[in-house]
Chains A and B, each alone.
Chain A
Amino acid sequence: MTTHQKFASRALITGCLSLCLLQSLIAQSAGDVDVAVVVHPDTPVSNLTLAEVRKVFLGDRQYWSTDVPVVLLIRAPVARERNVVLKVIYQMSESQFKQYWIAKIFRAETATAPKVVYSNDMANELVTAIPGAIAFIDARDVRPGTKVIRVDGRLPKEQGYPLR
């Protein structure tokens, strides 16, 4: 093999490797952003297991305490936070999710479905304004003063945090 051939093959290999690395970095930066579980500042919880978060979002736990009902806030379709919630918490598709809440109300297990929020700003505002409210917000968009709860003992950006 001549020097040119060696040089060309090394350049090709290096190029391919760089492309792969770049691709994985892009994928990581887009997909690994943690989703924080935030609640109204007066809500008497600071740590929930993933199973407890699921119970709350399934509407099976409807009260934080006797006088404070849970108010569910969930992002409108297509938002990344909603996709994470559907995948990790509900383990349902969009249509299964819709059917689940229609059935839940039809069974008289709850009178209201989760309220839809259209942005993380709106979620931030409502969760601090409505007692008992709970929402999912991109961890980068959580405003100072909002109460972020630990899930399985971990906060967003900590290793092993389950909602991403």
Chain B
Amino acid sequence: MYTRLLLIFSLASGTALAQATASLPEQQESVQSLIDRIQQLEKRISELEDHQRKQDAARAASTGLQTLTEIQGSQGSQEKATLAPGLHSEPAPSSTEVREAEVHYPSLQIRGFGDVDFSATNEKGSVSGFNLGQLVLHLASPLSKKVGYFGELSFTARPTGSDVQVERTIIRYDYNDYFKISFGKYHTPIGYWNTAFHHGAWLQTTISRPEMVKFGGSFIPVHFVGLQAEGSLPSGGLGLGYSVGLGNGRSSILSKAGDSGDSNDNRAWVASVFARPTRFYGLQVGGSVYGDKLSPDPGRNFGEWITAADVVWTKERPEFLSEFANVHHRDLRTSQTFNSQAFYVQLAYRLPWLESKWKPYYRFEYIHRPANEPVWDVSGLSSVTDLASSTLGVRYDITNYAAFKGEYRNNRTGANEPRVNGAFFQTAFTF
């Protein structure tokens, strides 16, 4: 029995081997013809490159180093010598390739972000339906090796038309990695979210920003107009970085920055420090402090002192974001003090199956402000007193540049307020 089985197996193997051997010459023939073709093409490319080099050398000989100056622009003479075709024993680089790889100044790049949303809640008086979200244009342009410009414009749909805002406009001079100074309008470097995602809904995992950093909200000053110095600190594997800023602070409308001028004669300041330890790639721990004098009403002034801390793990398996902020207000007339707190914790995980396109997430957020907190009441802005909110959702990346998100939210905006449930959908993209 054993012998028969072995014989059958041997015969089957033999047949398969014979078939494979029969097709082998054909495959070898195809492979050989492909190799020949590749060799022919390589030879042709080599001939063309030689021809190009000879032409470049002739041009350089006739016009001196004019061509090289064009290629290198404002870069040093050492670079020009390196590039000189025919002056080196090493093979000269193709000038076309080098020219393409060079940065030209200015070199404007525009990127857009957009989102279309749908919402439906059981809140009294709310209306379900679609809205256009924000259309955002981001501009970046290096102006020289050390100077760059960045801008962000938003177009927000309103009942009366579109509202256009300059969200950021920054010109920055980089001295080196340790010192970069810039002037303009920023997103205030308090906490993590405000400077990580800006107005790009596609960049953030969830549909909306946490309430504490909401655009148009007043818990922290989202924008800052002034100057900012930033860079890394020599700290080895700790990966420390810093930023310090001086600016106008909040305007008399607390949710807005003083774009056209300060609301009082007192400058706001902000300082933040973060660590990205090399040992834990993906981890960032940071802290920030902000100080300002608020003048929401004539004759009423408040000192504002914000302290914040954040811990994030930016990898997607898992992604973990959390930050906390305490806003301290002091009535400068009565010396009465008020403290409000807010935090959120967000957890997401990029699933390894189905081409890693799905990313479920959960976020819990909380805001508490004392009932008699005068600053937001004086400003006339509606502000939540005790927010507790849960968000459960999933993100599906349709392509590398577009995502679809669906969310369920359950929140309560005050201790005696009813809970509100809602379903939200968004398609967010970049272009």
A interface residues, Cβ below 8 angstroms from B: 1-2, 4-5, 8-9, 12, 41-42, 49, 51-52, 54-55, 60-63, 65-67, 69, 71, 73, 91, 93-96, 98-99, 102-103, 105-108, 111-112, 115, 117, 122, 125-126, 128-131, 143, 145
Contacts and interface: CB of A to CB of B under 8 A. Distances in A.
Nearest to A54: B281
Contacts of A145: 90
Given A60-B276, A61-B177, A125 B93 contact: yes
A112 B175 contact: no
Q: Is the interface of B mostly helix, strand, loop or mixed?
A: mixed
A106 B203 contact: yes
A99 B232 contact: no
A125 B91 contact: yes
25 contacts: A4-B3, A51-B278, A55-B278, A60-B232, A62-B177, A63-B177, A65-B176, A69-B145, A73-B101, A91-B315, A95-B397, A95-B400, A103-B196, A103-B197, A106-B198, A107-B195, A108-B140, A108-B148, A111-B142, A111-B149, A112-B103, A115-B101, A130-B98, A131-B79, A131-B82
Interface residues of B, number: 59
B379 interface: no
Interface of B: 2-3, 6, 9-10, 75-76, 78-79, 82-83, 90-91, 93-94, 97-98, 101-103, 107, 109, 111, 138, 140-142, 145-146, 148-150, 168, 170, 172, 174-177, 195-198, 200, 203, 232, 237, 239, 276, 278-279, 281, 315-316, 356, 397, 400-401, 430
Contacts of B170: 108
Given A55-B239, A107-B198, A131-B76, 14 more contacts: A8-B6, A9-B6, A51-B279, A55-B278, A63-B177, A73-B101, A95-B397, A99-B203, A102-B430, A106-B203, A108-B140, A125-B94, A126-B101, A131-B78
Nearest to A70: B177
| Most B Cβ at <10 Å: residue of A1, A41, A131 | A131
Contacts of B281: 51, 54, 91
B342 to A, nearest CB: 23
A85 to B, nearest CB: 14
Contacts of B83: 129
A95 B395 CA distance: 14
A73 B170 CA distance: 27
Contacts of A99: 203, 400
Given A51-B237, A102-B203, A111 B168 contact: no
A59 to B, nearest CB: 11
Contacts of B316: 96
A55 to B, nearest CB: 7
Contacts of A129: 79, 82-83, 93, 98
B158 to A, nearest CB: 24
A115 B237 CA distance: 27
B176 A106 contact: no
Contacts of A66: 175-176
Nearest to B316: A96
Contacts of B2: 1, 5
Given A106-B111, A131-B82, A125 B97 contact: yes
